[in-house]
Copies of this chain bind each other. A is one copy, B any other.
Amino acid sequence: MSIFKKIMTAVRGGASEAGEAIIDANATRIFEQEIRDAENHLTKAKRDLTGVMAEQMAAKREVDRLQREITEHEGYAGQALEKGDETLALAVAEKIAALESDLSAQQQAHDSFAGNAERLKELVKKSERQVAEHKRQLSMVKTTESVQKATSAITDNFSSSNSKLLSAKDSLERIKAKQQKFDDKMKAAEVLESENSDTSLEAQLKAAGIGNQDSSANSVLDRIKAKQKQ
């Protein structure tokens, strides 16, 4: 059964089986090990690819060098023939034959490296896709298990707190009532604030000596005298 189907089955089981693992702990460890293996495999494939591409480049350089040398020696052989020196020409031709044999070997090696590099590139991409896919599946398993355990913790906490479970409609009603109360309080505070501003003005008038003076110099003096008698 695919991971997706296992999870579909597990979540359908619901809160009653919250403790049950989707894939057992051992299977999870195996799954995680598989991801690590795939990642190691990927690292190895990338290193191999780097090596093969270096060899491919080296072979290409050797092919180019041999081709240049062959062209050069063909020139020498031509010059020897023009001078009528058949013996020298044959010696050069022997050298060319050896170079050509070398070239053929290098060309085949190069083609082989190129093919190998192509194959390794595909392998790297395939491994990258597999690692991403395994990680996605493991994330699904872990998320599902986490949600089931969290649900279980929340349910336990709720039952132990003896709080009454409200319906969604009742919750909403209470929230709206609190909101209304808050808005009313703000409006009242605003009214109070404007009243306070008036009081403040009154106080300022008093400070300027306009209006009633509730603290006369004589009463202050009486107060200080009373303090001294204590």
Which residues of A approach B to under 8 Å, CB–CB?
74, 77-78, 81-82, 89-90, 93-94, 96-97, 100-102, 104-105, 108-109, 111-112, 115-116, 118-119, 122-123, 126, 182, 186, 189-190, 192-193, 196-197, 199-200, 203-204, 206-207, 209, 213-221, 224-225, 227-228
Give the Cβ gap from A180 to chain B, nearest Cβ, in Å: 13
- Whether B206 and A119, one on each chain, are in contact in the complex, defined by CB atoms closer than 8 angstroms, is no
- CB < 8 Å: which of B81, B105, B122, B182 contacts A204? B105
CB nearest to A74 among chain B residues: B224
Q: How many copies does the complex hold?
A: 2
- CB < 8 Å: which of B100, B122, B217 contacts A97? B217
- Whether B186 and A101, one on each chain, are in contact in the complex, defined by CB atoms closer than 8 angstroms, is no
- CB < 8 Å: which of B94, B203, B219, B228 contacts A105? B203
